[in-house]
Amino acid sequence: MAKVTQIGAAATTTPFPIDGERNPGTKFDAAPVRDVRVNRSAIERRAATMSTRRTVKNEWQAAWLLHAVRTVDLTTLSGDDTDGTVRRLCGKARQPIRAQLLADLGVTQKIQTGAVCVYHTFVKTAVHALEGSGIPVAAVSTGFPAGLSPFAQKIDEIKASVKDGAAEIDIVISREHVLSGNWRALYDEVKAFREACGDAHMKAIIATGELGTLKNIMRASLVCMQAGSDFIKTSTGKEPTNATIAGSLVMVRAIRQYYEQTGVKVGFKPAGGIRTAKQALDWLILMKEELGDEWMKPHLFRIGASALINDIERQLEHYAYGRYASMQYQPLG
């Protein structure tokens, strides 16, 4: 039985919940937003070769996949969610990979997901189910997914989720501000959301699939970071187009630009449509190549997903036993 090699960034984790400095934000500065330049053809070429230029194989792949599990915001955002569904999801977050499989891989470290992400209605249920685990609860807010609720209602929703115990708030921006080029309005909106979050970390969902251009994605990312977002996130998972490598590449380069300008490290979360182990590896490679090892860790990188862990477990089973198990044998399939 081959054992998993515990390697560098792919084998380490950060204590839960998110630690490190918050993003204090800056004053609104229109200049870097106005001066954004995006070479679309170069971005698309880079994105197309992301998964072909680098590969991770054998025990190294197994180690990277175990690390990917630690970065997952395990999510349920369905209209038929129940307290039972959420409690079961929290059980999966506590033990995402079967104990026997971990033992057969020679893994002795505790493996948990990065967070559990739910609607506000189920925050209390998730907090209770995760008590003692150290896994934070993330709540989607501000009229998720469309972001078209009245502004005062959005603020109240954030405050209610924080009061119920949410340690992280995933807010959605008003796409209208981006599409009309009203960057000051976007800044003011996100800054107000940040203040309402209090001590809870804020992830700003910019809905890349609805912003029209890569330049808009870059500009929206910069404005959200100026307003104090601790993370920027690609999508709600409810748009026709969700996380893509091209859109993600633009966002992580915005993160790098913001870091070079301010010295503040902002996290990144792709979400929507990420269902396979191969995709998880693609995004980890993106983070390593564009931002470095630290941005692969859970305090600066999350993957929003619901079924991803099932495929990761199948790949780990193949590595350990030489065969794939049917998806019907995977919990929460």
Catalytically active residues are 170, 233, 269
Residue 279 backbone phi and psi in degrees, to 5: -65, -40
Sequence-separated (6 or more) residues with CB below 8 Å from residue 317: 101, 323, 324, 325
CB of 303 within 8 A of CB of 276?
no
Residues 144 and 272: their CA atoms lie apart, in Å, by 14
Q: What's the CA gap between 279 and 51, in Å, rounded?
A: 9
> Would you give the distance in Å from CA 244 to the centre of its chain?
13
Place of tokens 């685990």: 133
Distance CA 311, CA 209 (A): 25
What is the separation of C-alpha 188 from the centre of its chain, rounded to a whole number of angstroms? 23
